[in-house]
């Protein structure tokens, strides 16, 4: 790890929960230092769009996510502050992030939203198949521990970003990533 590693605000929530919108607001608010928004969708967009068999696609997506996790570490290692948006819908994703990001200061933020609102948002998007957000709703939060949670169905992206920004100076030494790491690997 570099001498002055960057900080990481890690947003976890379902598809259409508002993570990217909150991340954009955070970049607008966090003007004391340089911050970067990196999202798993950005990495997915870099992949070829050719048709693949399900097993081949699953393997490509796993490698993409593993590379994404390592790119977060590489960016933070050289001093970049990051707002990460991710969908931790499979247990291995969280376990990999806990391992790869163990040397870094991570504020783990759960982005929650009512399923009816997720479905409404998803229907308004042309880039998402219906039902994905509702399917992910229980999966992404099953680990049950965050440093902070925001309700993006009740609060606007700006208000969620303000909640996160207000929490940053008060981030406890015992972090959700640390507690989850101990729970997974006692």
Catalytic residues: 41
Q: Which 8-state DSSP code applies to residue 82?
A: E
State the binding site: 13-20
The Cα-based distances of 69 to 26, 34, 74, 102 in angstroms read 20, 20, 9, 11
C-alpha span between 26 and 38 (Å, rounded): 12
| Contact of 127 with 16, CB cutoff 8 Å | no
State the binding site for ATP: 13-20
CA 129 to chain CA centroid, Å, is 20
The Cα-based distances of 42 to 2, 85, 121, 148, 150 in angstroms read 25, 10, 19, 24, 23
């Amino acid at each position: 790890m570099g001498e002055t590693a960057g900080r990481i605000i890690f947003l976890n929530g379902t598809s259409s929960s508002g993570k990217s919108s909150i991340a954009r607001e955070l970049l607008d608010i966090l003007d004391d230092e340089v911050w970067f928004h990196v999202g798993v969708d950005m990495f997915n967009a870099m992949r070829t769009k050719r048709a693949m068999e399900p097993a081949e696609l699953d393997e490509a997506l796993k490698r993409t996510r593993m590379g994404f996790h390592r790119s977060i570490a590489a960016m933070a290692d050289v001093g970049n502050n990051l707002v990460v948006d991710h969908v931790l819908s499979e247990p291995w994703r969280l376990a990999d992030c806990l391992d790869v990001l163990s040397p870094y200061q991570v504020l783990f933020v759960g982005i929650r939203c009512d399923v009816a609102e997720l479905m409404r948002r998803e229907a308004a998007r042309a880039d998402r198949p219906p039902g994905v957000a509702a399917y992910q709703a229980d999966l992404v939060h099953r680990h049950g521990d965050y440093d902070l949670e925001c309700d993006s169905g009740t609060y606007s992206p700006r208000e969620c970003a303000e909640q996160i920004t207000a929490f940053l100076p008060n981030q406890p030494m015992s972090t959700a990533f640390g507690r989850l790491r101990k729970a997974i690997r006692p």
